[in-house]
Amino acid sequence: MTELDFIRNGVIKLFATDKEEITPSEYAHFSYPKYISLMDFEVHQFRVQGFGSLMSMQTRTHFGMQLLTCSFMPSEGTGVPYLLIDIMTTGKKRMIFVEYYDCTASKENQPMLEEACRKYSFLPDHKEKSAWYVPCRAGYSLIKDIPAGSERYLLARMTADCVRAYRKAVSAASVDDTNIKGLLAFRDRMINEGNPSSAVLGKVFGREGAKRFFCSCVMPDSGSIGDKRSKE
């Protein structure tokens, strides 16, 4: 089991306690390019009762880089930010993006998420390219490099702490259907203006196929969750 396998399993266990796996069979495993297979993708999608959905997508490459993306979609109107976690490892380099996008109507304070951010503020910030979505992130997001020589389980512990904090925030939040409008508007921007996965998904599925994947797996609305289920 790789480090990212361990982290993915931990995220699913910590957050999706009341869950049903609904991974569409067409997206469970796919490769790019299709016949040479330089990049292999494994997707798991869950309906989470009272919240919306959780998706994990693990990318394994034949040139040493591994990626894990976890998308927490509060499509039932829960008053929490949309959470996107991206982790990349290549050789001894490791980095983690814990991105919160507050699309709620009320923009409530999130003390539990802020506390998790403070706990790992000692880590060096990762220098990223500018993009339209960067200023949309909440200030308690974590965009960090994990220095070589760090404690062995630091990346896994940091991910787990952030997921626990988010789960507590979800439990404490109220549900308001007006939150859904902002969330879906943000999804439209992610599709139309680009997101970190746009280039790769566009190559794999084409423009329209990438849009379908994003709307059915990454950020599905409540009516789209589980339209095409795989057998568990």
Residue ranges of domains in the chain, CATH in brackets:
3-218 (3.40.1500.20)
What is the full DSSP assignment across 123-161?
SPBP-----TTGGGS-TT-EEEEE-TT--TTHHHHHHHH
| Contact of 41 with 31, CB cutoff 8 Å | yes
Tens digit of each residue's pLDDT, the chain (232 residues): 899 999 999 999 999 888 899 999 999 999 998 788 899 999 999 999 999 999 999 999 988 899 999 999 999 999 999 999 999 999 889 999 999 999 999 999 999 999 999 999 999 999 999 999 999 999 999 999 999 999 989 999 999 999 999 999 999 999 999 999 999 999 999 999 998 888 889 989 999 999 999 999 999 998 877 654 433 3
Give the predicted TM-score (pTM) of the model: 0.94
- Residue 22 φ/ψ, nearest 5 degrees: -135, 25
Tokens of residue 143, six digits: 């965009």
Cβ-defined contacts of 17-21 (< 8 Å, 24+): 18/48, 18/49, 18/50, 19/46, 19/47, 19/48, 19/49, 19/54, 20/46, 20/47, 20/49, 20/226, 21/45, 21/46, 21/230, 21/232
